[in-house]
Amino acid sequence: MNARFTPSRQEDLPLITGQGRFTADHHYPGTLHAFVIRSMHAHARLTSIDLAAVRAYPGVRWVVTAQELKALGAGNIPHPITAKGPGGEDQKIALMPLLAEGTVRFVGQPVAMVFADSALVAQDAAELAVMEYEVLDAVTDPETATQPSALQLHEQVPRNLSVHFSSGDAALVEAAFQKAAHTSQLRVVSQRLMGVPMEPRAVVARHDAATGVTTVHTPHQGVLGMRNFLAMAAGVSPESLCVDANDVGGSFGLRGGAYTEHGVLVLATRHLGCPVAWTGSRSEIFLSDWHGRALILNGDIALDAAGHILAIRFKDCVDAGAYNCMMSTFIGTRNLSITMGGVYQVPALYMESEVVYTNTTPVSAYRGAGRPDIAYAIERLVDFAAHQHGFDPIALRRQNFIEASAFPYKTANGTTIDTCLSGKLLDRALAMSDYAGFEQRRAQALTRGKYRGIGLSTFLEASGAGTAPKDQALGEFQADGCLHVYGVTGPSGQGHSTSFARIIETALGWPADRVRYEAGNAKHKLLGNGTGGSRSLYGAGSAIVAMCHQMLESLKPLAAQALGVSADEVHFDKGLWTGPQHSISTAQLIDALPQAAQSSLSVMGEATSGSTFPNGCHVAEVEIDPDTGVTELIHYFAVDDLGQVISPQLVRGQVHGGVVQGWGQAFCEQVVYDAQGQLLTGSFMDYAMPRAGCVPHLRNETYEVRTQLNLLGSKGVGESGCTGSLPALANAVMSALRPYGIDQMDMPFTAPKIWMALQARI
């Protein structure tokens, strides 16, 4: 089929013809299907569980509670990264058991699982479960969770405080504030969100008793990470697990680790001796996928009389939800601190954060994982301070940008930024958006009764440093005529195969359409990071560059031989080996080799790549209808420095997706709990999602400044759209409302919220 069609990405053909293989597409004969019985209370003691009728229901094969799991040696939900207090105090950790033990702490927490002949039978049987609860008060507000009056969620954690973290120099900052000519304070909330990958979380597990290996199909962000986290959750060895690299229907940070269903299904297939499957309904996903954001950021800024920033200080409240699951601590400590000075040369920085428990779904990474939030807080704070003290917000930014001569620049709290040419990006964005003509457009809009606003962000983020010591890529020329490359990082929509093939074509001259990338085949025993923190392209990509360099070394004598000259007479450039008289392409050279010689070119490349510093300038222009409160996004312009761009079309797509997720947070999305901890936004009927047309006119460009921090020269693109858009959109809305006396409002900027705010001031 499709001999005459070349897809724009290697990944596309199966996905546009219905041949993709997502988790729930795996059907094995004899599979038992699982249903999860979840807590209906936010905080309660489980006083009795009667599952006799469930067990007796025809077609039910196994019902499991915490008690049975304990006997099988189950572990807990992983929490891989911890933090210390300012005096080196250990963090208090409340790990989430796979199934609730005695107390439930959020609505939707798994209590028991039913395995039956079909998913419907399992669900029908689960209806017969009788659970008795002694309901306790719920703690839902993270800011009051640490007060003595708040009920304590975990016996071992006083004040519901998991860790108090700080970074920077408090005394230096205080001294700067003492001598400041101007100070401003701004409290912003980055509200709790749902990540909402379109593929619901699902697990299919199949144990092979002969080999002792359990194969697991599930959406993930890299098979190695998932395998380790699965092992922790199930309490089994990683070597006894094989995570399949099937198609993944979006990840956005939520797929990085194991959930209850992963751990229980691994144990279930071993216990039952047959394949087991579970697919979450979207309602369950709303209750039980880790939530995102849930941060309250209190910023202070000190300026001198000329508008130079003297110090920035943050006091952050980090809602971890009911337990420490996966990345909440990392978000609330490292990610809120490392770029807290933004793109500005700030002599004194200090932040402290409290990671606290509430009776809500645990929080983990969602696109940017704290970085969009802190960029939002800084760029709102700078904008707010400029207006409060009569500075032009553009000029104030410009005079505080880190000077080009200062790079590599070490921030006051220890982050070293290699390069960030904010002034250049700002110039371009101002030109693209005709910023200078805005006041005219504002006046014109007012004649139509509309309040027009323009907002800007100049932002910086730090992409993922990675948790593996290095990234490796193994390349093999195989009999099918293709270069097969094996790595660790697995795609969930980013187009890894396409970009990696292009890197190879550029570095080696081998045609991209004859490269096959495969993620996560455990037999190769490769090291590497999963997909996360926007680092796949430059992390795995740098390993691939190293692999190509080694191949070029091996090819050089072969090229010389083929051209009939000595090796030092051969020159390689753009895929062509050139001698004094003749040339031969890499593909011609390799294709002419016997298979054994081709095989001997196989090599593993590796690279160690840390964080990079993607940065950008985004401009949004909005019109608000004061009669309805509806905000229309008129234009959106994005200029991003992502370093070396490999696939321009894919980069555009990543920025689009990120900006629109930012639009979602800015204008419609929010997870809402009531005071009892009941989730009020439990489906797409009440959790508003961006739809087609919400960002109709988006122009994005790149301003490529190669980084020397990795072999590829690239930075990360995955999260920059989100990071740039939150402050740009919010500043645009505030720009529109400021003439009417409104200079701060928290997201989402829904029509009723804006309408009511305007009504209160008219």
Partner 1 sequence: MRPISLTVNGHTHAVDVEDRTLLADLLRDQLHLTGTHVGCDTSQCGCCTVLMDGDAIKSCTVLAVQAEGAHITTIEGLAQGPDLHPIQAAFSQCHGLQCGFCTPGMIMATAGLLSHTPQPTEAQILEGLAGNLCRCTGYIHIVESVKLAAQTLQEKSA
What residues line the site for partner 1 (CB under 8 A)? 1-5, 7-9, 11-22, 24-25, 27, 120, 196-200, 247-252, 279, 281-283, 492-495, 649-650, 652-653, 656-661, 683-685, 689-696, 698, 721
Closer residue to partner 1 (CB): 12 or 101: 12
Minimum CB separation from partner 1 for residue 688, in Å?
11
Minimum CB separation from partner 1 for residue 691, in Å?
6
Closer residue to partner 1 (CB): 37 or 139: 37
Closer residue to partner 1 (CB): 10 or 333: 10
Residue partners of 51: CB distance under 8 A and separation at least 6 = 63, 65, 112, 129, 130
What is the spatial distance between Cα 720 and Cα 370, in angstroms, rounded to a whole number?
A: 12
Minimum CB separation from partner 1 for residue 225, in Å?
18
As a whole number of angstroms, the longest Cα–Cα distance in the chain is: 88
> Which region, left, alpha or beta, applies to residue 41 given φ > 0 means left and ψ of -120 to 50 means alpha?
beta
Tokens of 320: 């971890």
Using DSSP, state whether 261 is helix, strand or coil: helix
Helices of type H across 5-129? 12-16, 52-56, 66-71, 119-126
Minimum CB separation from partner 1 for residue 655, in Å?
8
> Which region, left, alpha or beta, applies to residue 113 given φ > 0 means left and ψ of -120 to 50 means alpha?
beta
What number of other Cβ atoms are within 10 A of residue 410's Cβ? 11
Closer residue to partner 1 (CB): 185 or 683: 683
Closer residue to partner 1 (CB): 4 or 525: 4
Task: State the pairing for strand pair 130-135/44-50.
Answer: antiparallel
**Is the CB of residue 657 less than 8 Å from the CB of residue 716?**
no
Minimum CB separation from partner 1 for residue 29, in Å?
12
- Starting at the edge strand that comes first in sequence, how are the strands of the sheet with 295-303 ordered? 161-168, 348-356, 309-319, 295-303, 182-190
Closer residue to partner 1 (CB): 44 or 193: 193
Closer residue to partner 1 (CB): 263 or 495: 495
Closer residue to partner 1 (CB): 661 or 707: 661
Minimum CB separation from partner 1 for residue 4, in Å?
7
Kindly state the helix (H) or strand (E) to which residue 605 belongs, with its residue range: strand 603-607
Nearest of 633, 657, 654 to residue 645 by alpha carbon? 654
Closer residue to partner 1 (CB): 674 or 684: 684
DSSP state at residue 436 = G
DSSP state at residue 108 = T
What number of other Cβ atoms are within 10 A of residue 680's Cβ? 11
Minimum CB separation from partner 1 for residue 195, in Å?
8
Using DSSP, state whether 580 is helix, strand or coil: coil
What is the spatial distance between Cα 731 and Cα 714, in angstroms, rounded to a whole number?
A: 29
Closer residue to partner 1 (CB): 528 or 690: 690
**Is the CB of residue 139 less than 8 Å from the CB of residue 322?**
no
Catalogue the E-assigned strands of 511-582: 515-519, 571-573, 576-578
Minimum CB separation from partner 1 for residue 16, in Å?
4
Closer residue to partner 1 (CB): 182 or 656: 656
Minimum CB separation from partner 1 for residue 742, in Å?
28
What is the spatial distance between Cα 423 and Cα 616, in angstroms, rounded to a whole number?
A: 10
Closer residue to partner 1 (CB): 337 or 494: 494
Task: State the pairing for strand pair 295-303/182-190.
Answer: antiparallel
**Is the CB of residue 193 less than 8 Å from the CB of residue 373?**
no
Minimum CB separation from partner 1 for residue 616, in Å?
16
Helices of type H across 336-472? 336-337, 371-388, 393-400, 422-432, 438-447
**Is the CB of residue 356 less than 8 Å from the CB of residue 146?**
yes
Q: Helix crossing, 223-234 with 260-272: angle to 10°? A: 70
Minimum CB separation from partner 1 for residue 694, in Å?
7
Closer residue to partner 1 (CB): 34 or 507: 34
Minimum CB separation from partner 1 for residue 517, in Å?
16
Closer residue to partner 1 (CB): 574 or 691: 691
What is the spatial distance between Cα 513 and Cα 502, in angstroms, rounded to a whole number?
A: 9
The burial class, CB within 10 Å (0-12 / 13-18 / 19+), for 40 is: middle
Minimum CB separation from partner 1 for residue 6, in Å?
9
Which residue in the block uniquely carries the two structure tokens 């017969």? 128
Minimum CB separation from partner 1 for residue 257, in Å?
19
What is the spatial distance between Cα 666 and Cα 294, in angstroms, rounded to a whole number?
A: 14
